[in-house]
Chain A
Amino acid sequence: MSGEPTARRTEEVLDLALPTTARGPSPGGPLLEVRDLRVRFTRGGRVVNAVNGLSYTLDAGEILAIIGESGSGKSVSTRSLMGLLPPSAQVSGSAKFEGTELIGMPEKEMRAWRGAKIAMVFQDPARSLNPTMRIGAQIVEAIRTHRKVSKKEAAERAVELLKLVRLPAAERRFYEYPHQLSGGMRQRVVIAIALASEPRLLIADEATTALDVTTQAQIMELLVELQQRLGTAIIMISHDLGLAASYAHKVVVMYAGRAVEYASAEKLFANVRMPYTRALLGAIPLLDRKTHELLPVIPGQPPDPAALPKGCAFRPRCDVATDKCLEAPPLKEHEPGHWWACWHPAGSEDTAAGGRAGGRADEVRVGSARQVEDGA
């Protein structure tokens, strides 16, 4: 990924002449393969199991969404890939990036990888930028960290990158400070810095959460455009199922450090199996719901990661739970391309007839029918 050819590729991108879609399994296997990832923190004798056996694969140029509530381990799992966790974290399992094992990689080696092949964009653009440095200098710094180029070349490339992320008046913005930009523009700059080394994988950790809906749509459009033109794979971490459904190819739903459902976006949202995913989906306020209609909610709080319930972690809040759920259900491929970890998935024989889950699905269906009418 070094030197000339990559630079030329970006120039072509700037011409917008080559709308290529580099998606799909690369010849050498998947881009990223995570197997049984576990992260444990020990604090004052308390053991916190933040991630408990997470597995997924990501092909080049693919967008994967990791969905879950706060504390479900979605951020911790991706940070462990980049070696960004504090020393108190015990990470086990395997994460192979282009065949190279990331877990347990020595810090020195990791430094060459971090930012160069895997880059990360965080939630708060104001805090990821240095307030005392002009944005141009910050991008130049990022470029020169990874590649031996002159300051002048780096500056030219920085302006190119600012244009690539569609920052208006890039030449002028180059000399401005972060406080002179709006939140959306700052996030564009952060993305430009992340792209400085042409990473193969971009991790967007709640990258649009702090932004307005209008800016969020702009930034997501930008990320999708970059994914299509540069073939950058993206892991988007979010709590917003609607956002994931709109942009991701694959979705992992996490609960208490485990993946509970994993499928392509079309498959998952057409046929939600895990009661937790169903509850998440039901709790989103939707435009086609009537005013003052109560939302279907599930009681309780997410479990304390230091004291996870026995068996399925969702059991105490689940309305279809039985004694069988005291045994942890494995994440299995029950249907081709659709994994879930549940003994009583929605839509199967034993739950479809009764229970609140069935009724909830019907309510939702009524709502969608209304939307169709309104649209017509």
Chain B
Amino acid sequence: MTMTMARERDAEKLLEVRDVVQEFAVRGPGGVKGAKVHAVSGVSFDMWRGETLGVVGETGSGKSTLARSIIQAPRPKSGVVRFLGTDLMKLGRRALTEARRQMQMVYQDPYGSLDPRWTVLELVEEPLLGYKVGTKAQRRERACELLDLVGMDPGVFGRRRPHELSGGQCQRVAIARAIALNPALIVCDEAVASLDVLIQAQVLNLFERLRTELGLSYLFISHDLALVKQVSDRVAVMHLGQLVEIGPSEELYRRPLHPYTSALLDSIPGLDPATGKVRRPTAPKGEPPSPINPPSGCRFRTRCPLAQERCAQEVPKLRELFPGHQVACHFPLATPDAAATDGAASASGNGAATAGDAART
């Protein structure tokens, strides 16, 4: 999928993020401005139409801040966010509201994102009302249609209020609200994290179905690496406000280039359901450094097993080592030269498989 997209890059480009920086001031006693939290520090990436980009990282790595910077809530401190060709950073309030029609968010807490006093139908109609779409009857009709689309019977659930719904049902309502205006991009910020595994699987499958039926793009934020792999064409790994690796998901998981990605992958429990064989996770050493006072050079160097002197002095730039696979590391775990000897055959084979898969879906 990424290969075909690379060819039609400019025509299909949905989102272009360049050097986005977001910082927050920490206020001390008495509201005195104190230190600065470097939440997002110079993140750049592109997203194409119909693509799902997963964003992974630990708590405090700036995943959510990045998402909020993209939808301009609040505006980032500097950088460029070009969405469907327009630079959102330069838009005024009214133009921005109009642009946001094309991008919607689904949040983690399904109860918190719905007004407890509204009925399900009212909740789903709200975005239509906000953008003055159709007449009252048309809006009601569309709301019923949307509820059907997310697998909820409007006759049964339409009159209910959020407290009468389960977590999974609330999340379906939140998704119906998000797709009401036919957006091009949906930002899912830990959208299934609070759901039980069986309900989570149902909602993930719903996301997949809507993607193929409506041609949606997702920016899928999660701390669960396996979950992100399940839904994403490409995956971006964030560490302490910086993008450390981005690449096609199959490749990134098979051959991580950044030591941090590798450490993240090693820390998830692996279970082979067929044989019951278990791979016990290995934990990385140490605590993540503080975003108030990040280490010089590479911000991962304090926890990195491969760190050398150069890592403290020079900030590694994001560079493309394999087609579409970028990494910000002085000493990546694989290089094209090394891979050429042993991995080239398997890499091309897998690339073909990925393309085939995309074609099938």
Considering the chains assembled together, what is the distance between the CA atoms of A70 and B267 in angstroms? 25
Residue numbers in B under 8 Å from A361 (CB-CB): 274
Given A69-B198, A291-B250, A243 and B269 touching (CB < 8 A)?
Answer: yes
Mark the stretch among B65-73, B127-135, B225-233 that contacts chain A: B225-233
Q: How many residues of B contact A (CB 8 A)?
A: 60
Asked if B297 lies at the interface with its beta carbon under 8 angstroms from chain A, I say no
B25 on the interface (CB 8 Å rule)? no
Nearest residue, chain B, Cβ from A221: B283
B263 touches A (CB below 8 Å): yes
Whether B230 contacts A240 by the Cβ 8 Å rule is no
Smallest beta-carbon distance B210→chain A, Å? 12
Which B residues touch A245, using CB under 8 A? Answer: 269, 271, 276, 278
Asked whether B267 lies within 8 Å of A216 as measured between CB atoms, the reply is yes
Provided the pairs A247-B280, A282-B273, A283-B198 are in contact, do residues A214 and B229 lie with their beta carbons within 8 angstroms?
no
The 8 Å CB contact of B274, one of A182, A279, A365, is: A365
Do residues A291 and B231 form an inter-chain contact, with CB atoms below 8 A? yes
Question: Which parts of B122-142 form the interface with A (CB within 8 Å)?
Answer: none
With A246-B281, A291-B250, A295-B201 known as contacts, the answer to whether A368 contacts B275 (CB < 8 A) is: yes
User: Is A270 in the interface zone, CB < 8 Å from B?
Assistant: yes
Does B332 interact with chain A (Cβ within 8 Å)?
no
What string of 1s and 0s marks CB contacts (under 8 Å) between A229-269 and chain B? Answer: 00000000001111101110000000000000000011011
Does A290 interact with chain B (Cβ within 8 Å)? yes
Contact B197 A284 (CB under 8 A): yes
Q: Which residues of B contact A239 (CB under 8 A)?
A: 196-197
Question: Which residue from A185, A214, A281 sits with its C-beta under 8 Å from B273?
Answer: A281
> Whole-angstrom distance between the alpha carbons of A218 and B254 in the complex?
23
Interface size on A, residues (CB 8 A): 60
A307 on interface, CB distance cutoff 8 Å: no
Given contacts A269-B276, A281-B273, contact A289 B229 (CB under 8 A): yes
A371 nearest in chain B by CB position:
B272
Does any Cβ of B come within 8 Å of A294's Cβ? yes
Whether, in the assembled complex, B249 has its beta carbon less than 8 Å from a beta carbon of chain A, the answer is yes
The answer to whether B287 and A368 touch across the interface, beta carbons within 8 angstroms, is: no
A301 and B199 contact, Cβ closer than 8 Å, known pairs A269-B271, A285-B204, A286-B226? yes
Query: Which B residues lie within 8 Å of A70 (CB)?
Result: 167, 196
User: B331 at interface (Cβ–Cβ under 8 A)?
Assistant: no
Which of B202, B263, B273 is in CB contact (< 8 Å) with A368? B273
Q: Is B157 engaged at the interface, CB distance under 8 Å to the other chain?
A: no
In the complex, the answer to whether A214 meets B357 with C-beta atoms within 8 Å is: no
Contact A214/B227 with A69-B197, A290-B357 known, Cβ cut-off 8 Å = no
Is A4 part of the contact surface with B, judged by Cβ < 8 Å? no
Give the residue of B52, B202, B286 whose beta carbon is less than 8 angstroms from that of A297: B202
**Residue-by-residue, is B262-292 near A (CB-CB < 8 Å gives 1, otherwise 0)?**
0111111111111111111111101110000
How far is B275's CA from A245's CA once the two chains are assembled, in angstroms? 12
**B253→A287 contact, CB < 8 A:** yes
- Please tell me if the beta carbons of B276 and A291 are within 8 angstroms of each other in the complex: no
| Binding site secondary structure of chain A | helix
8 A Cβ contacts from B178-232 to A: 196-202, 204-205, 208, 211, 223-227, 229-232
Q: Quick one: which of B341-361 are within 8 Å of A by CB? A: 354, 357-358, 361
Q: Which of B58, B211, B227 contacts A212 (CB 8 A)?
A: B58
Q: How many Å lie between the Cα of A368 and that of B250 in the bound state? A: 15
The distance in angstroms between the C-alpha atoms of A291 and B356, with both chains bound, is 12
B166 sits at the interface (CB 8 A):
yes
CB nearest to A185 among chain B residues:
B287
- Complex Cα distance, B167 from A347, in Å, reads 33
The answer to whether the Cβ of B168 comes within 8 Å of any Cβ in the partner chain is yes
Q: Which residues 35-74 of B have a CB within 8 angstroms of A?
A: 52, 58-59
B-contacting residues, A165-218, CB 8 Å? 168, 182-185, 212-218
Whether A149 sits at the interface, judged by CB under 8 Å, is no
B279 touches A246 (CB 8 A): yes
- Whether A320 is near chain B, meaning CB under 8 Å from some CB there, is no
List A contacts of B358 (CB < 8 A): 292
Q: Hey, which chain B residues are within 8 Å of A221, CB to CB?
A: 283
B278 touches A269 (CB 8 A): yes
Known: A212-B58, A214-B267, A241-B271. A297 touches B281 (CB 8 A): no
Q: Is the CB of B287 within 8 A of A184?
A: yes
A183 contacts which chain B residues (CB < 8 A)? 59
Residues B204 and A295 in contact, CB atoms below 8 Å apart: yes
A293 at the interface (CB under 8 A from B): yes
Query: Which A residue's beta carbon lies closest to that of B233?
Result: A291
Q: Are A283 and B269 interface neighbours, CB within 8 A?
A: no
Bound: A118/B200 CA distance, A: 33
Evaluate contact between A301 and B168: CB separation under 8 angstroms.
yes
The answer to whether A287 and B205 touch across the interface, beta carbons within 8 angstroms, is no
Chain B residues whose C-beta falls within 8 Å of the C-beta of A270 in the assembled complex? 275-276
Q: Give, as a whole number of angstroms, the nearest-CB distance from A74 to chain B.
A: 12
Given A290-B357, A291-B232, residue A284 in contact with residue B226 (CB < 8 A): yes
Question: Looking across the interface, which residue of chain B has its beta carbon closest to that of A298?
Answer: B198
Q: Is the CB of A285 within 8 A of B278?
A: no
Specify the chain B residue showing the minimal Cβ separation from A290.
B357
Alpha-carbon distance between A199 and B226 when the two chains are bound, in angstroms: 35
Chain A, 325-376, CB within 8 A of any chain B CB: 361, 364-365, 367-368, 371, 374
When the two chains form their complex, are residues A246 and B280 in contact, meaning their CB atoms are under 8 A apart?
yes
Given contacts A247-B280, A286-B271, A368-B273, contact A292 B231 (CB under 8 A): yes
Which residues of the partner chain B approach A184 to less than 8 Å between Cβ atoms?
A: 287
Residues of A within 8 A of B284 (CB): 214, 217-218
| Chain B residues within 8 Å of A296, by CB | 201
Chain B residues with Cβ below 8 Å from A367 are 273-274
Take A213-B264, A297-B201 as given contacts and tell me if A285 and B196 are in contact as well, using a CB distance cutoff of 8 Å. Answer: no
Query: Distance (Å) between the CB of A300 and the closest chain B CB?
Result: 9
Answer yes or no: A26 CB below 8 A from chain B CBs.
no
Question: Whole-angstrom distance between the alpha carbons of A289 and B230 in the complex?
Answer: 7
Which one of B224, B281, B288 lies within 8 Å of A285 (CB-CB)?
A: B224
Please provide the 6 A-B residue pairs with the shortest distance between their CB atoms, ordered closest to farther. A269-B276, A270-B276, A217-B283, A283-B201, A242-B269, A246-B269
CB pairs A–B below 8 angstroms (8 shown):
A246-B278, A279-B198, A285-B226, A286-B226, A291-B229, A291-B230, A295-B205, A297-B201
Residues of A within 8 A of B (CB): 69-70, 168, 182-185, 212-218, 220-221, 239-243, 245-247, 265-266, 268-272, 279-287, 289-299, 301-302, 361, 364-365, 367-368, 371, 374
